[in-house]
């Protein structure tokens, strides 16, 4: 079983993506997480380019990494000097990583138009840089920037650049599709020619501008490359880099290459979500292998089939990458969907019970009105429990009022909600302000209930979405509100639909609170 080196460049290439910025502490936390995943090399940044990366390299030395080696990244030396006198080269050594990656030009167009030096001088820059670094480090990787474009333009010169790096002692020659425009068959042909010509360890660094970065990386490995560079979730400049969350399972589970341990591969989804959380970007539900929808089933025929044999509609076992199977509830749902969800919710529901058909009928009726339960499973669980007589009310609404007041042009409006609820025999009447009418209503409801149910203090509202359902009706259109809430244990989604956005929000807020109270009640019963 051939071993493939996995090289992660999320902290450097990934951080160049639009809307992504990592602090030093962010980078240190991601480093530890990637190490747990079993990544072999973690590119920490460019120590000569900014103070933040220099600080990272000082602090990362204090981490105890079990699997990964941290790599410092930089360019070949500047023209008109020597590697010994080049400040960026010295910064690479000061990073004290033991492993360094330097990139150099291999496309003659870049040499003459970007570097503005002769082709021969560029070869000398590559030789001088690597021959200077190699005796002082454990490993030196050479990123052949724009290699595939360079090869297509001038194959002899592109190969000459690799030869210069090889002769100088580079440990691996990484072929870069920097502009991301090369297609898989071109990658196969060019990489095969390079492999036959050089007979030397090769790597692949693909960008995703043609949506082929994962395919290009896999094709390169099948052609003989043993070192793969990419980022978590494919983040990176422009359209991103090769996505390691797809490359790792494709190589290991589909093609039999050895990348990381099987137990580490089970942490793939966890690591993917961790990096997104640190980067403060939304999780891509449809991302292969690690996305929420990767093993989600909606159609009744599909659900019925996977209940018998999951492989009927799943290409791998989701647990192999730390994911899990999900059955979605919608107007396409059949009996199998509802029975499967009942099992997930620990609700006993007989396949021949009249309540099953009642639940199905209710789902279809509500979805016809605009409700959506795929992202609001907490609301669906409450619907099932209400139908089966397993639900209990924790409070009754007597009434609420929401006021939005704008006192002066240029100032933000003020929102205030007043609410009256009945808990048992006690009536609670209170008010609260908020950032907008829905937030004010949420604050007022919690304020009224927390004296009776202090556990509500741990609930946080993570996301709030509004969708207009009927186009062409203007401000009288029906809207759907989806709310994601959570506490210290889990997150849950709830839904409300109405022509009044406050009423739709109220429905979703009430479901969220009732779900929390029912779940906590069940935990108490289990622990007793």
Beta strands in 326-478 (DSSP E): 326-327, 396-405, 414-423, 426-434, 460-468
Closest CA to 5 of 44, 43, 59: 43
Which band of pLDDT confidence, cut at 50, 70 and 90, is reported for residue 465?
confident
Which band of pLDDT confidence, cut at 50, 70 and 90, is reported for residue 218?
very high
Tell me the C-alpha distance between 398 and 427, whole Å: 9
Tell me the C-alpha distance between 8 and 299, whole Å: 37
Q: Which residues pair with 172 in a beta bridge?
A: 141
Which pLDDT score is estimated for 12? Answer: 96
Whether this model's pTM surpasses 0.75: no
CATH 3.30.160.340 fits 370-376+459-528, yes or no: yes
Residue for token pair 């025929």 = 301
H-only helix segments in 173-310: 184-198, 213-223, 244-249, 262-265, 268-279, 300-308
CATH 3.40.50.300 fits 5-279, yes or no: no
Lowest-confidence range among 139-143, 161-165, 424-428? 424-428
Q: What is the largest CA-CA distance in the chain?
A: 90
Which pLDDT score is estimated for 298? Answer: 79
| Enclosing H/E stretch for 503 | helix 501-527
b/e burial code for range 62-94 (CB count within 10 A of at least 16 → b) = eeeeeebbbbbbbbbbbeeeebeebebbebbbe
User: What pLDDT digit, counting tens, does each position of 320-366 carry?
Assistant: 999 888 777 665 556 777 887 888 888 888 888 888 888 888 888 88
Question: What value, to the nearest 5°, has the Cα angle with vertex 338 and ends 332 and 340?
Answer: 120
For CA atoms 188, 192, 198, 200, the dihedral sign is: positive
Per CATH, 5-279 and 370-376+459-528 having the same topology is answered: no
First-residue to last-residue Cα distance in the chain = 51
Helices and strands per DSSP (H, E), number in the chain = 18, 16
Quick one: what percent of the chain has pLDDT higher than 90?
66
Contact (Cβ atoms closer than 8 angstroms) between residue 416 and residue 439: no
Token digits of residue 451: 């004296």
Structural domain spans, the chain:
5-279, 296-369, 370-376+459-528
Rounded average pLDDT over 239-254: 98
Q: Which residues pair with 228 in a beta bridge?
A: 6, 204
Would you give the DSSP letter of residue 412? P
Task: Report the chain's mean pLDDT, rounded to a whole number.
Answer: 91
Which pLDDT score is estimated for 306? Answer: 80
Which pLDDT score is estimated for 329? Answer: 63
- Does pLDDT of 474 surpass 80? no
Which pLDDT score is estimated for 48? Answer: 76
Which band of pLDDT confidence, cut at 50, 70 and 90, is reported for residue 8?
very high
């Amino acid at each position: 079983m051939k071993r493939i080196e996995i090289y992660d460049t999320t902290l450097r290439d990934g951080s160049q993506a639009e809307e992504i910025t990592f602090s030093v502490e962010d980078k240190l936390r991601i480093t530890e997480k990637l190490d747990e995943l079993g990544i072999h090399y973690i590119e920490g940044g460019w120590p000569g380019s900014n103070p933040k990366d220099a600080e990272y390299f000082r602090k990362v030395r204090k981490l105890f990494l079990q699997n990964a080696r941290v790599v410092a990244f930089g360019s070949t030396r500047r023209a008109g000097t020597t590697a010994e006198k080049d400040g960026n080269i010295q910064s690479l050594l000061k990073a004290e990583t033991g492993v360094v990656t330097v990139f150099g030009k291999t496309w003659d167009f870049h040499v003459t138009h970007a570097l503005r030096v002769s082709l021969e001088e560029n070869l000398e820059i590559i030789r001088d840089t690597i021959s200077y670094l190699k005796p002082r480090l454990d490993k030196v990787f050479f990123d052949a920037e724009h290699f595939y474009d360079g090869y297509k333009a001038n194959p002899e010169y592109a190969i000459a650049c690799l030869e210069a790096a090889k002769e100088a002692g580079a440990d691996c020659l990484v072929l870069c599709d920097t502009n991301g425009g090369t297609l898989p068959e071109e990658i196969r042909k060019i990489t095969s020619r390079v492999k036959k010509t050089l007979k030397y360890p090769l790597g692949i660094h693909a960008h995703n501008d043609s949506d082929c970065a994962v395919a290009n990386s896999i094709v390169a490995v099948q052609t003989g490359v043993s070192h793969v560079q990419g980022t978590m979730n494919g983040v990176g400049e422009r359209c991103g880099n090769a996505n390691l969350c797809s490359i790792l399972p494709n190589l290991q589970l589909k093609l039999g290459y050895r990348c990381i341990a099987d137990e580490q591969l089970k942490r793939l989804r966890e690591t993917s979500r961790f990096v997104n959380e640190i980067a403060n970007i939304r999780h891509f539900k449809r991302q292969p292998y690690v996305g929420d929808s990767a093993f989600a089933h909606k159609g009744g025929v599909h659900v019925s089939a996977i209940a018998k044999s999951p492989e009927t509609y799943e290409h791998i076992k989701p647990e192999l990458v730390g994911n899990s199977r999900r059955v979605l509830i919608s107007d396409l749902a059949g009996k199998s969907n509802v029975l499967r969800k009942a099992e997930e919710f620990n609700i006993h529901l007989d396949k021949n019970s009249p309540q099953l058909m009642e639940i199905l009928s209710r789902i279809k009726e509500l979805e016809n009105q605009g409700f959506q339960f795929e992202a609001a499973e907490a609301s669906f669980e409450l619907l099932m429990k209400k139908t089966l007589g397993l639900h209990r009310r924790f409070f009754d609404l007597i009434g609420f009022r929401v006021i939005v007041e704008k006192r002066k042009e240029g100032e933000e409006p003020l929102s205030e909600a007043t609410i009256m609820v009945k808990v048992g025999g006690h009536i609670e009447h209170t008010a609260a302000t908020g950032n907008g009418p829905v937030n004010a209503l949420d604050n007022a409801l919690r304020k009224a209930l927390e004296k009776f149910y202090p556990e509500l203090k741990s609930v946080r509202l993570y996301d709030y979405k509004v969708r207009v359902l009927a186009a062409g009706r203007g401000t009288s259109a029906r809207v759907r509100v989806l709310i994601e809430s959570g506490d210290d244990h889990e997150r849950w989604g709830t839904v409300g639909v109405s022509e009044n956005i406050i009423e739709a929000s109220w429905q979703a807020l009430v479901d969220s609170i009732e779900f929390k109270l029912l779940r906590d009640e069940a935990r108490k019963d289990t622990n007793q």
